[in-house]
Amino acid sequence: MQTKRLKTLLFLLKLAVLAVLLLSRHYEFSSYFAAYQHQADITISFIVFALTASILVSVLVWLYRRREKIPSGKADNVIIGLNNIYYLVLVGAGIMTTLGYWGIDFRTLFTTLSIVAAAIAIISKDYIAEIISGIIISFSGEVAIDDYIRIGDQKGKIIDINFTKIALLNEDDDVIFIPNAKFFSSEIVNYTKREIKKVSIEFEVMIQYLKTIEELETDLIHAISDYESHIEAGTYNLKIVEIRKDSLSLKFQYVFLREINRELEREIRRKTVRRIVNYVKKNLGQPKEEPGN
């Protein structure tokens, strides 16, 4: 509630400052400051533009929160995208304001420096691509803040989408930054968007230390029996993904009954992985018997 009041007061303060600045544009400074009239006009114009854009973004964010019923203090893709566009426009306005202090005509400047501008665009094309990709991702419905995804070999929860990178929080609590352009052009698996909450744990076991698939599956199911109230009965499945010369690539899967927090999901995953390790250690030195022995 206190934060909401502060935001309301800040919004009203912006409106008041904007009104004062708009009124001040109709008056000229005294003769003592007449020499700085041009710089003052440019500075006031920049502040008016910045405040207007900030108020517009605040109104759009408020309307969006109200429509989507998003609580105050929590941001999603659209809110982050609007703020990123505001900051981008503000930087551009700041550059133009700085050039305006020296009385540079923008049309003449862009015409004269067209070749330089083209060279700068070529040099910074990767950075521009990152920004454009970030804006597109922000307003898309494919991924969102708090979604659990996989991109390449990386898995984690999206915790931020900024101008150039997307931040993932993996299961080891490491923050991984992925460039927006790579994210935009890569194949992404969004586990959060699935209608069912299926968990897959991939691992590899040497064939000589594996007695039977059924025994390992039973062992894994028993390992997470304490969490059976969260898991749909009959959804346990130990799947053979690939058969190699000396090993098997396996995938242990199960489906949650309802949405659970990431901490509990990580705890179940950790317990399953440890059970796999214990199973392999238990069978070390006890390779499976060959037929006919």
Question: Is the domain 197-282 a CATH 3.60.21.10 member?
Answer: no
Q: What is the mean pLDDT of residues 153-159?
A: 84
| CATH architecture, domain defined by 148-190 | Roll (2.30)
* Encoded tokens for 173: 């609590």
Domain ranges of the chain: 2-112, 148-190, 197-282
pLDDT at 293: 43
Q: For the segment 60-86, what is each residue's pLDDT rounded down to a tens digit?
A: 888 888 877 777 777 777 787 788 888
Confidence at residue 68, expressed as pLDDT on a 0 to 100 scale: 73
pLDDT above 90 covers what percent of the chain?
0
Whether pLDDT at 180 is above 80: yes
pLDDT digits (tens, 9 = 90+) for 108-153: 655 655 655 566 666 666 677 777 777 777 777 678 787 888 888 8
Rounded Cα distance, 106 and 54, in Å:
24
Q: Model pTM greater than 0.85?
A: no
